[in-house]
Amino acid sequence: MEFGIPLTKFDPNHVRWGNPRLGPFRRTIPFAYEEGQIHFHSVILSLQPLKIVEMDIMRNQIILEESRKLSFLSKIEQFQTLVQHSLLKHGAQWTEGCKKATEVAIPLQPLLKNKRLCLYLSTQADSLSFFNEGVAVPFSDTSIKPGDLIRITVKLQGLSLQMVEDNIWTGKSRIQHHILQIYKVSKDDDDFV
């Protein structure tokens, strides 16, 4: 069983880096979380309710923003900055043995941009747990739409360094993630909004 960290309690400074794992067309540096006596081998976050701003079903992309003035997404922004700094600091070590396509600044595809969180849904809808009015139901591309409030549990798997053939690092990277669960939140439920 894996445990999720409520975003309100998440401290990006407690994220730890693993050793690079090789995969097809990428190297992934896995994340872990250590805080006091707590040690998680992965980083799973339980997000606050967020409003769907946009959905791109063709790209399996969902764009979210906070519906209230409280900004818990700032913790995602802090984490993203930490990842960028770590990439600049450890990039040579993580890409040891790789050729580099370019020697330019190391771009990190942002999870959070302009106060909007961009996540990707799995291409296999049956792998996603979806709850509507507290009941587990199969997820489909019509289950949620822009304007809906949802809570997401997301696993931040690691930093993915994008590679091409012949072990060449493109200089591009992103925070690899997987949405584990989506809860559709009723707009009149004051406990969640």
Query: Coil, strand, or helix at residue 127?
Result: helix
Residue 160 has pLDDT above 50, yes or no: yes
Pairing of strands 149-164, 168-185: antiparallel
In this predicted structure, what is the pLDDT of residue 193?
44
In this predicted structure, what is the pLDDT of residue 22?
84
Determine, yes or no, domain membership for 42: yes
Encode pLDDT of 108-141 as tens digits.
Answer: 899 999 999 999 998 887 778 999 988 999 888 8
Beta strands in the chain (DSSP E): 5-6, 15-17, 21-23, 26-35, 38-40, 43-46, 50-56, 61-66, 99-100, 108-109, 112-113, 116-120, 129-132, 135-137, 149-164, 168-185
Encode pLDDT of 1-54 as tens digits.
Answer: 678 999 999 999 999 999 999 887 888 999 999 999 999 999 999 999 999 999
Closest Cα partner for 176 from 18, 19, 29? 29
Whole-number Å distance between alpha carbons of 151 and 168:
38
28 within 8 A of 158, measured Cβ to Cβ = yes
In this predicted structure, what is the pLDDT of residue 96?
81
Determine, yes or no, domain membership for 45: yes
Determine, yes or no, domain membership for 193: no
Residue 105 has pLDDT above 80, yes or no: no
Report the pLDDT averaged over residues 165-180: 88
Residues of the domain holding 173: 5-185
Determine, yes or no, domain membership for 27: yes
Encode pLDDT of 40-84 as tens digits.
Answer: 999 999 999 999 999 998 899 999 999 776 678 999 999 999 999
Q: What is the pTM of this model?
A: 0.88
Determine, yes or no, domain membership for 192: no
Higher model confidence: residue 40 or residue 187? 40
Report the pLDDT averaged over residues 145-169: 91
Whole-number Å distance between alpha carbons of 10 and 150:
19
17 within 8 A of 121, measured Cβ to Cβ = no
Determine, yes or no, domain membership for 167: yes
Number of domains in the chain: 1
Determine, yes or no, domain membership for 148: yes
Determine, yes or no, domain membership for 139: yes
